[in-house]
Amino acid sequence: MSSGDGPLFGRVALIGIGLIGSSLARVMRRDGLAGHIAVSSRTRATLDKATELGLADSVTLDSRTVVDGADLVVVCSPLGTYADIAADMGPALKEGCIVTDVGSVKQAVVRDLAPHMPDGVHLVPGHPVAGTEHSGPEAGFAELFDGRWCILTPPPGTDPDAVERMVELWRRAGMMVDVMDAAHHDMVLAITSHLPHLIAYTIVGTATDLSDHLKAEVFKYSAGGFRDFTRIAASDPVMWRDVFLNNKDAVLEMLGRFSEDLTALQRAIRWGEGDKLYDLFTRTREIRRGVVEAKQA
Amino acid sequence: MSSGDGPLFGRVALIGIGLIGSSLARVMRRDGLAGHIAVSSRTRATLDKATELGLADSVTLDSRTVVDGADLVVVCSPLGTYADIAADMGPALKEGCIVTDVGSVKQAVVRDLAPHMPDGVHLVPGHPVAGTEHSGPEAGFAELFDGRWCILTPPPGTDPDAVERMVELWRRAGMMVDVMDAAHHDMVLAITSHLPHLIAYTIVGTATDLSDHLKAEVFKYSAGGFRDFTRIAASDPVMWRDVFLNNKDAVLEMLGRFSEDLTALQRAIRWGEGDKLYDLFTRTREIRRGVVEAKQA
């Protein structure tokens, strides 16, 4: 199936077609990976846009009929919609079908999707670790995944062939693929993604609460560091609300560590302990080298 | 003096030639703004590099002789060095000379420099709000300042002509220039620059303290948001230590507000209050629009 001859999947259903879903659709179009792309969304406007962009062979508002005859179903909607979608599409899934997703939390996916999967359907949750602060089908682009990592978290006992087909799909999208336990994924992403977003949202909110006069200046002088946070804090509000609600334990654990560390720094500033500041700032500079060396900069 | 004919300053002394100092030297070279550029630094290696890059007409390790005959002195070294430099160069400053700097905190500059300024010398502290995570003379480039804001904080009673000459210099470097009170500057920059850096340093430090196994994964999956923080947290350790030590009150004030807001979000996550998260995340998205509209994105 990985020979490159013919589509990788006959019929693909995308449930949701925002930044990630539409980027994946573009990859499938570019490389001819899908015989037919069926798309469902909650709004007609999104479906119209997907059609206009040439990303869908068929569209529907119905998350049950969209999976009819599908060999691959990719859930690309916010995590909070998964349970309803699963209950809806479950009875219509074809035997042998692979069901996957692109959500940023993985234990919750198993919790919400697995109970509705009929026998003979393969659940292979996935998380392409890539994104921008933009959302919607027009925000996607095929190169979004290039050189980034995708994490698959198949539950124990998942058919290895189904996992291999998902590895192949994401490789075709330009990604490197790791397979790991869902709980481990959720802990790692809590520190590398969820906590950074939470902090960016917080500091931008703190600035928003300043007086209007100060606020205008916050925009003007944002090149001093703030603008990077505003970019992250412009990410999709629904998607991120659902991330925090669905990865509560790991986020609270990492947030606890962060708060302790921040309080220690606050104390060092108050008492003028320059050596402590210098030591930390030197250590963190090394970390940047690690990111650059991992080619993720 | 702003006619564009001939150099804006006859003899310029740059005390320190890192990212900002060397970028300013490049602007002066490009546009012929200085008749002679004298450079001092604490290390011979930096002076050799500045000479090699063609940024200096004369070099010295001595921060007194470097100002001999200078019409403009620009202090471009970490804030913690200012008091010693001022005491050193003060007696050698020429009457009518303008003394400025590029430091990220401004009240401390008046505190450290003003007592050593002889009569007839004009102190016009400045802060070009621009930078990268790189440091040293080889990291500079003339376009660093393009389209960014420079803030001048002349003490009350400063000669308006001296202020106007500094406005002209930074405009030639491509900057927009604001003049404001030093205390106000320090409060605005605490939220737009100092707090973002402190938080980035903290979260990257928190990640560093994870087990080695997790740490490797932090690099791999940094595209989920973390990498933006690692870039900020790679900034010069000495410069930033000195910023926090010299803008303690404003940083602690903004940090207090941030911590309250973060605790409120933590509580919302723990209690599953999705509406609170959604409301904040929607507000912060608006702020990004403000930054984009202010052309600082």
In this structure, what CATH number is given to the domain that contains residue A137? 3.40.50.720
Question: A217, B281: Cβ pair inside 8 Å?
Answer: no
Q: How many CB pairs under 8 A join A and B?
A: 317
Residue A3: band (very low, low, confident or very high) from pLDDT cuts 50, 70, 90: very low
Residue A102 maps to a domain: yes
Answer whether A296 sits within 8 Å of B219, measured CB to CB: yes
Chain B CB contacts of A139 under 8 Å are none
Given a cut of 60, is residue A4 above it in pLDDT? no
pLDDT of A288 reads 79
**Which of A130, A221, A228 faces B228 most closely, judged by CB atoms?**
A228
The pLDDT value recorded for residue A267 is 97
Q: Per the structure, how many domains does chain B have?
A: 2
Instruction: Give the pairing type, strands A149-152 and A126-128.
Output: antiparallel
Residue A172 shares a structural domain with residue A191: no
Contact call for A248 and B272, based on CB within 8 A: yes
Question: Among A229, A232, A238, which would you mutate to test the B interface (most chain B Cβ atoms within 10 Å of its Cβ)?
Answer: A229
Tell me whether residues A226 and B104 touch, CB distance under 8 A.
Answer: no
- Confidence at B5, pLDDT banded by 50, 70, 90: low
The reported pLDDT for the residue numbered A297 is 67
Q: At what angle do helices B212-220 and A274-293 cross, to 10 degrees?
A: 60
* pLDDT of residue B133 exceeding 90: no
What is the pTM (predicted TM-score) of this model? 0.89
Helices (H) and strands (E) in chain B, counts: 12, 9
Interchain contact, B290 vs A219, CB within 8 Å:
yes
Q: What's the average model confidence in pLDDT over B102-109?
A: 97
Same domain flag for B170 and B44: yes
Confidence of residue A66 (pLDDT cuts 50, 70, 90): very high
**β-pairing verdict for B126-128 and B149-152:** antiparallel
Taking only the tens place, the pLDDT of each residue in A244-285 is 999 999 999 999 999 999 999 999 999 999 999 999 999 998
Which of B201-230 are b and which e, b meaning 16 or more Cβ less than 10 Å from the residue's Cβ?
bbbbbbbbebeeeeeebbbbbbbbbbbbbb
Structure tokens at A162: 């189904």
Q: B287: which chain A residues are within 8 Å (Cβ-Cβ)?
A: 204, 207-208, 218-219, 230, 233-234
Cβ separation of A224 and B294 shorter than 8 Å? Answer: no
- Report whether pLDDT(A1) > 70: no
CA atoms within 13 A of residue B228's CA, in its CB half-sphere: 22
Spell out the residues 6+ positions from residue B120 whose beta carbon is closer than 8 angstroms to its own: B95, B96
Are B219 and A252 a contacting pair at CB < 8 A?
A: no
pLDDT for the residue numbered A5 = 61
Give mean pLDDT, residues A164-175. 97
Higher-pLDDT residue of B119, A295: B119
Q: Are residues B53 and B166 located together in one domain of the fold?
A: yes
Strand partners, B151: B127, B178
Instruction: Determine the distance in angstroms separating the CA of A8 from the nearest CA of chain B, rounded to an integer.
Output: 27
B110 with B216, same domain? no
Q: Are residues A95 and A126 in the same domain?
A: yes
- Complex-level ipTM: 0.90
CA distances from residue A10 to A86, A93, B122 in whole angstroms, order as listed: 21, 15, 76
Report the pLDDT value the prediction gives residue B2, as an integer from 0 to 100: 45
Domain of residue B22 covers 9-180
**Residue A158 contacts by C-beta under 8 Å, 6 or more apart in sequence?**
A122, A123, A124
Residues of B in Cβ contact (< 8 Å) with A19: none
Write down the residue that tokens 């703190």 correspond to.
A206
pLDDT over 70 for what percent of chain A? 97
- Answer yes or no: do B174 and B221 share one domain: no
